[in-house]
Structure 1
């Protein structure tokens, strides 16, 4: 049995769960729809082009949750995952997960998105092991801040190493599937790196490294 690690955005799903959640909040009137979505789109575009730090995107996006309880958010996240996210699961991703389960591999989902989103999506996929961005709560409500190391770039590897120690696991024979060049640090550490629908930077690196390049639809 080995570890099968999966990124989420543009890997298991066709899209980015944070941006899709922003649209959901606009639909529920939790945010000023037009102006909020315009700003979210602008910041996400900058982030994806490496022109904005993840922390700066989070400062904006998490401000919309200040004062809301985890229970309040969870109540609307479940139908959001069912109605919006589930239709975006790549069929090839579902087959890949099934193949790893058939061989007895342990599956871990790791993402630089908010834990309340990632864990709800993971539950829909039958995945119990999740690493994501942990959100701070104060006086029973979200504060708009994060807690601990962000699972982003080298931080994703740091969080994974801590998880491995906690669960007495290793990267021996491990696989990792990702679409983003931000995951190069982790892709370089596993025995079986796989790039899925890669961005341009990751695709070029994968070609040079002779990593498998998968097209999931």
Structure 2
């Protein structure tokens, strides 16, 4: 029997924060990256909110601290980061919505414009197996500081989704899509049932004009903001 596909953005949608920004603060605090990274990232995230971010430049800047380091060196830090910082940031409503889809028998997929080294383990905590995220290059288990393939950002999310669907050999009855960001307009415009979750002002206006469902999820921990 054909099932529905439920597609979730990650940052500010399933969690009450941006995981990449929190990770950058985390590695600066750990002495793995210079404080200047946060100033640089802040400017880039301002561009992101306006829909003008150069994602290739962002990934190069934020992956630079990992360059030359091994997966085995970084993984314990990622585990600590997810346990201490990300898990408390998960929206309870997000877990409930994922469970709602799971009980229906829907196929759940997270598509994120964050590096897979963060997205995959976060998805595991959320109980989601299938992930599309930015490929972070490693050679013999060593981070190169580069990315590979199509960046899953803006139209890149749609391109990566289409490739993923071809690999699934599965006909879906329909699709749901959830995101907070105007950067995901190409993806939300593609799905059958789009939902704007805590949308930024531009997406909120678009959602209202299109009569999309707007969902307001709240988190008690203001420290995460």
TM-score range, shorter chain: over 0.9
1:22 aligns with 24
After superposition, the Cα gap between the structure-2 partners of 1:51 and 1:155, relative to the gap in structure 1 and judged at 3 Å, is closer
Residues 49-60 of structure 1 aligned to structure 2 (within 5 Å): 49-60=50-61
Q: Which runs of 4+ in 1 moved over 4 A?
A: none
Q: Match of 1:182, SS?
A: helix
TM-score, length basis structure 2: 0.92
Shift of 1:96: 0.4
Shift of 1:149: 0.3
- Is the 1:195–1:212 contact (alpha carbons within 8 Å) kept by the matching residues of 2? yes
- Is the 1:196–1:216 contact (alpha carbons within 8 Å) kept by the matching residues of 2? yes
2:222 aligns with none
Q: Which runs of 5+ in 2 are unaligned?
A: 219-225
- Is the 1:66–1:142 contact (alpha carbons within 8 Å) kept by the matching residues of 2? yes
Measure the CA separation in 1 of the matches of 2:192 and 2:51.
27
Output one character per residue of 1:83-123: Cα deviation in whole Å (capped at 9) or x when no partner. Answer: 10011111111110111111111110110000010001000
2:9 aligns with 7
User: In the alignment, does 2:98 pair up with 1:110?
Assistant: no
- Is the 1:172–1:190 contact (alpha carbons within 8 Å) kept by the matching residues of 2? no
1:201 aligns with 202
Measure the CA separation in 2 of the matches of 1:179 and 1:170.
27
Shift of 1:136: 1.3
Residues 62-101 of structure 1 aligned to structure 2 (within 5 Å): 62-101=63-102
Q: Match of 1:188, SS?
A: helix
Q: Which runs of 5+ in 1 are unaligned?
A: none
Measure the CA separation in 2 of the matches of 1:57 and 1:212.
31
Residues 106-185 of structure 1 aligned to structure 2 (within 5 Å): 106-185=107-186
- Is the 2:51–2:183 contact (alpha carbons within 8 Å) kept by the matching residues of 1? no
Measure the CA separation in 2 of the matches of 1:100 and 1:176.
12
Measure the CA separation in 2 of the matches of 1:117 and 1:54.
16
Bigger shift: 64-73 or 34-43? 34-43
Measure the CA separation in 1 of the matches of 2:163 and 2:89.
31
Measure the CA separation in 1 of the matches of 2:74 and 2:68.
11
Output one character per residue of 1:99-154: Cα deviation in whole Å (capped at 9) or x when no partner. Answer: 11111111101100000100010000111100000011235311111010011111
Measure the CA separation in 2 of the matches of 1:204 and 1:77.
36
Q: Match of 1:92, SS?
A: helix
Output one character per residue of 1:19-56: Cα deviation in whole Å (capped at 9) or x when no partner. Answer: 00001101211012x32222222222223223431111
Measure the CA separation in 2 of the matches of 1:171 and 1:189.
14
TM-score, length basis structure 1: 0.95
